[in-house]
Structures are given as C-alpha cells and as structure tokens.
Structure 1
C-alpha cells in the first residue's frame, strides 16, 4: 500500500479558490464560464468516485481529476482580481502565487518519501542520498 501524505488540497493549495466559486456564480455566468466550471466540477467528482472504486485513494491518481479542479480555481482567482481595487488585486495574486509555490514545494518534498510509487530512492539513489545528506544533520 502506497503511503498517503495528505489530500488533494494539501498538494494543490491554489485549488482552494474552488470554494469561492459559489460566491462568484453571477460573474462566471456573465463571462460564459459558469457552465465550464460546473462541468469541470461534475466531471472531477465523477472521476474521483471512479478512482475510489477502482483503485482506492492514492496520490498517483490526483492528476486524473486535479487538472479539472485547478481550472476552476484559476478561473475563480482571475475573477476575484478582475473587480478588485489595486491593493486587493495584488494581495489576491500574491496569495495565489504563494499557494502555487507551496504546492510545488510539497510535491517536490513528497518525492523524497519512501514507499511511494516511483520513489526517488529506487529511481535515482545517488540524488536521493545526496539530498538526504544535506538534511541528515537536522535530525
């Protein structure tokens, strides 16, 4: 069994903007994106259910539905900046960028975990041992 280090939002925190999509229904509808966002959410939900039934919950299947959720998150984040004043727009963009960078960091950190599918220790043991030696003094 592959270890599970957190949910989808832990590794794609920028997708948290999905939950704001319910407040932006009117704006998304005016721009013609409400249908796309609703279809993406429904399709992502269907794929999640199929993945859970067929393969259980595993981190390697996050990409099956993750890109659909990321599309909705990006659309909503864009429309939050569209009507905002300059200071709020900058704040929203900075938060979004920080969440994306946090997701990249957590995904890279996850590559170092043992027991996962395609673990770094078995695919490139030299790189794994080098990185391990950097952090060994901290333990």
Structure 2
C-alpha cells in the first residue's frame, strides 16, 4: 500500500498513525524503478528506464548499427546519446490514455493504480499506441 493510500485509510478510519506503518510506507515512496523495451515488430529499437526518479532512454546497439535504414524517433535525434529527464517524454506519455475516461477510471480503482504514477500507468496501458507502430514491453 502506498504512502498516500495509507494516509487516506488513516483519515477515513480515524486510526492513530503508527510509526511502523509510516516507516513502511515511506520506504515505498519514490523507490520505484522500471525497464521497458521499445520494439518495432521483432526489432529492438531502444530501452526506456525509470530509476532514482529519472527517466532515461537510449537506442539499442541493434538499432545503432542499422539506424541509417530507419527513422529516428522524434525527440531522440542522436543514436549515441543517453537521454535523461525528470519528466516522461511526449513520445511515451501519449501511450497513457485520458484518465477521466470511465473505463480507465474503473481500471485504476480496481487495480489500485494512482493516476499520478506514470510508471504504473505506462506498465498498465503503454504496450501499444494508435499514434505509432512501436510496442513497449515491460521488462521489470
């Protein structure tokens, strides 16, 4: 259970906040990490990771050797660069659907996904996008 969910539970139940619960919740705060592979059919294009509250993207070695025959992804013009950002890039962010859609809200509630947790949202909804042919696979 995340920190904010515990706070909500304590407030609604009127329970006292126990130091043990707070410590456990605090350990989960900001410690999330994830790795995704970006594919075009069976071809690995690159790797997106989230670690230490930062996103990174880099092209795969396979892509680097054949990049002359393929289009580069918008926003990532240098095949040799490791891109770093505090924010998820628009190329990946568009894979997360509108969070006010009733069906999406239902999934978020059912699966206990916070609507501000882009890592979990991307894991849940990010595999395919109607805006491009790439697939994003969760590795960890």
Scaled to the shorter chain, the TM-score interval is under 0.3
TM-score (norm 1): 0.25
Higher strand share: 2
Higher helix share: 1
